[in-house]
Amino acid sequence: MAEVRLAAESRTEFGKGAARRTRRAGKIPAVLYGHGTDPKHVSLPAIEFARVVRDHGSNAILRLELGTGPNELALTKTVTVHPLRQYIEHVDLLLVRRGEKVVVDVPVVVNGDAAPGTLVTQDMNSLQVEADAMNIPDEFEVSVQDAEIGTRVLAGDVSLPPGVELQTDAEYLVVNVTAAPTEEDLEAEMDTEGAGVVEEASEEVAAAAEPAAEGEDAQQS
Among positive and negative, which fits the CA dihedral 162, 164, 167, 171?
A: negative
Q: Phi first, then psi: what are they for 194, rounded to 5°?
A: -65, -40
* Same-domain pairing of 109 and 129: yes
**CB under 8 Å to 38, separation ≥6 — which residues?**
none
Q: What percent of the chain has pLDDT over 70?
A: 84
Side-chain-side CA neighbours of 39 within 13 Å: the count stands at 11
- The alpha carbon torsion through 161, 165, 170, 172 (nearest 10 deg) reads -80
Query: Considering the entire predicted model, what is its pTM?
Result: 0.74
In a domain, 187, yes or no: no
**CB under 8 Å to 199, separation ≥6 — which residues?**
none
Q: Domain containing 168: what range?
A: 103-179
Answer for the pair 93, 30: CB distance below 8 angstroms, yes or no: yes
Give the domain-ending residue among 37, 66, 96: 96
Highest mean pLDDT among 70-79, 81-90, 131-140: 131-140
Please state which of the ranges 31-35, 139-143, 152-156, 192-196 shows the lowest mean pLDDT. Answer: 192-196
Give the domain-ending residue among 46, 67, 96: 96
- Distance (Å, whole) CA 30 – CA 10: 9
Please state which of the ranges 77-81, 104-108, 203-207 shows the lowest mean pLDDT. Answer: 203-207
* Same-domain pairing of 8 and 84: yes
Q: Could you tell me which of 123, 220, 112, 129 has the C-alpha nearest to residue 169?
A: 129
Side-chain-side CA neighbours of 215 within 13 Å: the count stands at 5
* Same-domain pairing of 140 and 218: no
* Same-domain pairing of 162 and 206: no
**Type of residue at 161:** P
Q: Phi first, then psi: what are they for 173, rounded to 5°?
A: -80, 130
More confident residue, 197 or 187: 187
pLDDT band at residue 218 under the 50/70/90 scheme: very low
- The CATH number given to whatever domain includes residue 130 is 2.170.120.20
Chain segment 132-161, per-residue pLDDT in tens: 999 999 899 999 999 999 999 999 999 999
Specify the pLDDT at position 221. 42
- The CATH number given to whatever domain includes residue 46 is 2.40.240.10
* Same-domain pairing of 89 and 113: no
